[in-house]
């Protein structure tokens, strides 16, 4: 068993490196394939009720978690297979490299004054209507999306990989994908998506707070203040409508010395978000600072996750030797 844990740790490390080198493919990504299957099932099973939505969530997450459990059992005692399967699963669920690239694309478009390109790019990061956003609002949307998705795309899957290996990696990504597809508040998904949204909240409780703390510790990477980041996290982290997004956004706001929040337009549905942080509104140069901070947080989370799995192997090995 101790060797199995070491190969799990090695596979996670290789998966992190693969994400850094390759990122997400434009076509045929496993998460996109899963999303297509989920959409087909939704069309068959949909009803405007929480009970039907809970059944839908259980089927989707249960199927993916079952694949993870099967993979875990089939690769016990098979070092190369365990390493390869864990590496593939880690690569498939991570999105930190693509997140950083999207942020860099937004920064480049805004730095060159190309608002049309920036507006066309924003849907890659979030669901806001970009048609009437100016450069400062596009910068705010980008920084907020980078902050929130640093947890969703990197820290959270790594956290669950450290806790439960391949089943944890796959189950988390299934939960998060379901939330993105049906967990938002809309007339169609208000009740049907309730279970997916609540499950995603639960799965992100610990990772979001870890993201906030790592952001505080690594604020100097973005020429920011850890003290200011901690103050913003403690004061404003609970003010966001999401129990988790506020932890990430408040910490980033303090680390970057900016003020996030405000009115967001989601294609005609407007939401007024509380302000987080006490600095000026984000400017275009803050996007690259946010990307740099997000990468530092992601790599640190990866080191912690791999180290945690390795520590489990060492502890079990020491116990077996007694």
- When the pLDDT of each residue in the chain is averaged and rounded to a whole number, the result is 93
> Nearest to residue 105, comparing CAs of 128, 121, 123, 126?
121
Please determine, for residue 151, whether its predicted confidence score (pLDDT) is greater than 60: yes
> Residues near 312 by Cβ (< 8 Å), separated by ≥ 6?
5
> Nearest to residue 198, comparing CAs of 54, 313, 64, 8?
54
Choice among 132-146, 156-170, 198-212, 267-281 with the minimum mean pLDDT = 267-281
Structure confidence at residue 321 (pLDDT) = 53
pLDDT tens, residue by residue, 214-228: 999 999 999 999 999
Please determine, for residue 105, whether its predicted confidence score (pLDDT) is greater than 80: yes
* Partners of residue 262 on adjacent β-strands: 273
Please determine, for residue 266, whether its predicted confidence score (pLDDT) is greater than 90: no
Structure confidence at residue 300 (pLDDT) = 98
Cα–Cα–Cα angle for 259, 209, 216, rounded to 5 degrees: 55
Please determine, for residue 2, whether its predicted confidence score (pLDDT) is greater than 70: no
pLDDT tens, residue by residue, 221-254: 999 999 999 999 999 999 998 889 999 999 999 9
Please give the radius of gyration of the chain, using alpha carbons only, rounded to the nearest integer: 20
Q: What token pair was written down for 117?
A: 């390109």
Structure confidence at residue 54 (pLDDT) = 97
CB 258 within 8 A of CB 286: yes
- Give phi and psi for 275, each to the nearest 5: -80, 140
pLDDT band at 267; cut points 50, 70, 90: confident
Please determine, for residue 130, whether its predicted confidence score (pLDDT) is greater than 80: yes
Q: What would you measure as the largest C-alpha separation in the chain, in angstroms?
A: 67
pLDDT tens, residue by residue, 55-103: 999 999 999 999 999 999 999 989 999 999 999 999 999 999 999 999 9
Q: How far apart (Å, rounded) are the C-alpha atoms in residues 151 and 212?
A: 9
CA 99 remoteness from chain centre: 9
Which DSSP helix (H) or strand (E) runs through 5? helix 2-22
Q: How far apart (Å, rounded) are the C-alpha atoms in residues 236 and 304?
A: 26
Q: How far apart (Å, rounded) are the C-alpha atoms in residues 74 and 60?
A: 21
Structure confidence at residue 5 (pLDDT) = 79
Please determine, for residue 319, whether its predicted confidence score (pLDDT) is greater than 70: no
CB 286 within 8 A of CB 189: no
- The rounded percent of the chain whose pLDDT value lies above 70 is 96
CB 246 within 8 A of CB 240: yes
Q: How far apart (Å, rounded) are the C-alpha atoms in residues 1 and 234?
A: 41
Q: What is the mean pLDDT of residues 185-199?
A: 93
Query: What pTM did the predictor assign?
Result: 0.94
219: DSSP letter: G
CB 260 within 8 A of CB 282: yes
Cα–Cα–Cα angle for 143, 148, 154, rounded to 5 degrees: 115
pLDDT band at 318; cut points 50, 70, 90: low
> Nearest to residue 208, comparing CAs of 155, 252, 171, 261?
155
Which DSSP helix (H) or strand (E) runs through 266? strand 260-266
């Amino acid at each position: 068993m101790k060797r199995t844990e070491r190969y799990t740790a090695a596979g996670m490390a290789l998966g992190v490196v693969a994400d850094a080198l390759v990122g997400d493919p434009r076509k045929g990504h496993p998460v996109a394939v899963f999303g297509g299957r989920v959409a087909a099932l939704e069309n068959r099973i949909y009803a405007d009720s929480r009970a039907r939505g809970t059944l839908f969530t259980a089927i989707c997450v249960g199927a993916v978690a079952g694949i993870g459990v099967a993979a875990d059992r089939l690769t016990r005692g098979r070092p190369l297979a365990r390493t390869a399967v864990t590496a593939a699963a880690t690569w498939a669920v991570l999105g930190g490299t693509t997140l950083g690239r999207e942020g860099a694309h937004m920064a480049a478009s805004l730095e060159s004054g190309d608002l049309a390109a920036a507006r066309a790019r924003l849907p890659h990061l979030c669901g806001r209507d970009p048609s009437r956003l100016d450069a400062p609002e596009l910068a705010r949307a980008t920084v907020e999306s980078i902050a929130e998705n640093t947890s969703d795309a990197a820290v959270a899957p790594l956290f669950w990989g450290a806790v439960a290996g391949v089943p944890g990696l796959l189950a988390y990504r299934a939960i998060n994908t379901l939330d993105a597809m049906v967990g938002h508040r809309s007339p169609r998904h208000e009740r049907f998506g309730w279970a997916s949204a609540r499950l995603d909240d639960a799965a992100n409780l610990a990772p979001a707070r870890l993201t906030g703390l790592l952001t505080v510790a690594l604020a100097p990477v973005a020429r920011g203040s850890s003290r200011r980041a901690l103050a913003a996290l403690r004061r404003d982290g609970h003010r966001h409508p999401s129990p988790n997004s506020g932890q990430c956004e408040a910490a980033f706001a303090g680390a970057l010395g900016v003020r996030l929040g405000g009115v967001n337009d989601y294609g005609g549905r407007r939401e007024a978000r509380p302000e987080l942080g006490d600095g000026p509104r984000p400017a275009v140069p803050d996007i690259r600072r946010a990307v740099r901070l997000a990468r530092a947080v992601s790599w640190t989370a990866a080191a912690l996750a791999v180290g945690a799995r390795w520590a489990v192997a060492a502890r079990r090995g020491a116990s077996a030797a007694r």
